[in-house]
Amino acid sequence: MDWPKRARTADWENGVLTLDGEKQFEVPELTAEIMDQLAGYALVGFHVKGYPVTDELLAPFAGHKSMVNFGVENGTLTDACFPVFSAMPKLRILLLTGNAGIDGSGLSALQGCKLDLLTLDHTGLDDAGLLQAASIPKLSHIWIDHTAVTYDGLLAVAGNNYIKPVAHVQFTKEQMEHFSQLQREKAKKPVQLDEQAASECRSVLSAFFAEMTEWEQYMEQVGFEDAEAVPRLLAIWEKYVSEKPRLGYRPLALSYSAQGTYNGEEFLDAEQITKNKLYIYTREKNTSFDRRFLMKRVGEGWKIDAVQERLNSLGNLPRHFARVAAM
């Protein structure tokens, strides 16, 4: 085999090794020599599907300095594999679907990692393993379908309001909603909610959503070149958004969604921060974006002071997405 001098991604499936998405080689078996060769490249992505990769075969990748996303799906890995990943300083995405020998008992090795996404569906992950996963500081999404995780085990990690377990089969929609609610409750500061203030904030946001949807519908018809595009948006911004230093100018950039960014927004919860600040939690039913609006009392009314958002469920995210996301 005539190996190229360099490669950034490597994918193996059904006896074919693909480098950089285009160079293909017939490689029936992933031997120790081949793994050594691949580990010598400055790869950012490596993925194997359907080969009995063992913990020992991964050894050459320990300490790999450029790896961002790594996947071994339907292999024969056990919890002994995790120290290999703990030594990858740039690793963000780890796909281990279908490795039945993993129960999560070795996940403590990843506590020093900056891992953001971990798939452990179709593995032996149990409640104790999920608890270890929740201790990985940067981990935001973990796949747990078809595992040994129980609902009690899921609720046990609700104290971590950053992690988002992804389960479409393991638990019902109602159970997952209850988990999310419990996460919010545990994250709340012990301040009594001012129901009147919360109602006023929801009214302000409802009006903001309606005017933004109207503006986006207008933009869909006329485009950015229309003379009224910016003035109309700035008028909404001045009406509903607080004055505070922001990069560039307010708003930061022009963009719009044809279906309406806030067209399907539903109110979920409210949290009192101080007398003059509240969080209002919403979910956009069409896109499943969860949003947290920081509302600030300005004069006799309320304005949006900041907003955070995350995708409530990545759904059936193709594994390919995770492999190429950082390429």
Strands 277-284 and 265-274: antiparallel
At residue 90 the predicted structure's pLDDT band, cuts being 50, 70 and 90, is very high
Residue 321 has pLDDT above 80, yes or no: no
Q: Element (H or E) spanning 39, and its range? A: helix 32-39
Helix-then-strand count for the chain, H and E: 8, 13
Q: What is the mean pLDDT of residues 188-192?
A: 78
In the prediction, which pLDDT does 67 show? 97
CA dist 85 and 114 (Å) reads 11
Residue 254 has pLDDT above 80, yes or no: no
Residue 250 has pLDDT above 60, yes or no: no
Q: Among candidates 135, 188, 146, which has minimal Cα distance to 168? A: 146
Segment among 277-281, 283-287, 323-327 with least mean pLDDT: 323-327
CA dist 212 and 298 (Å) reads 21
Q: What is the mean pLDDT of residues 56-84?
A: 97
Is the link from the previous residue into 137 a cis peptide, with omega within 30 of 0? no
**Better pLDDT: 200 or 260:** 200
In the prediction, which pLDDT does 327 show? 30
Share of the chain above pLDDT 90, in %: 73
- The pTM of the whole model exceeds 0.85: no
Segment among 172-181, 282-291, 297-306 with least mean pLDDT: 282-291
CA dist 174 and 182 (Å) reads 12
In the prediction, which pLDDT does 79 show? 98
CA dist 107 and 88 (Å) reads 14
In the prediction, which pLDDT does 261 show? 83
Q: Which domains does the chain have, with CATH numbers?
A: 9-187 (3.80.10.10), 195-311 (3.10.450)
In the prediction, which pLDDT does 313 show? 56
Q: Among candidates 82, 88, 1, which has minimal Cα distance to 39? A: 88
At residue 312 the predicted structure's pLDDT band, cuts being 50, 70 and 90, is low
CA dist 57 and 80 (Å) reads 12
In the prediction, which pLDDT does 88 show? 95
| Residue 250 near residue 172, CB atoms below 8 Å | no
Segment among 55-69, 77-91, 99-113, 216-230 with least mean pLDDT: 216-230
Residue 249 has pLDDT above 70, yes or no: no
Residue 252 has pLDDT above 70, yes or no: no
| Residue 296 near residue 305, CB atoms below 8 Å | yes
User: pLDDT per residue over 112-147, tens digit each?
Assistant: 999 999 999 999 999 999 999 999 999 999 999 999
Residue 33 has pLDDT above 60, yes or no: yes
Share of the chain above pLDDT 70, in %: 91
How many Cβ atoms are within 10 Å of 226's Cβ, its own excluded?
13
Residue 220 has pLDDT above 90, yes or no: no
CA dist 56 and 77 (Å) reads 9
In the prediction, which pLDDT does 289 show? 82
Residue 323 has pLDDT above 50, yes or no: no
Q: Element (H or E) spanning 104, and its range? A: none
Q: What is the mean pLDDT of residues 239-266?
A: 68
At residue 167 the predicted structure's pLDDT band, cuts being 50, 70 and 90, is very high
At residue 315 the predicted structure's pLDDT band, cuts being 50, 70 and 90, is very low
Segment among 31-35, 36-40, 246-250, 323-327 with least mean pLDDT: 323-327
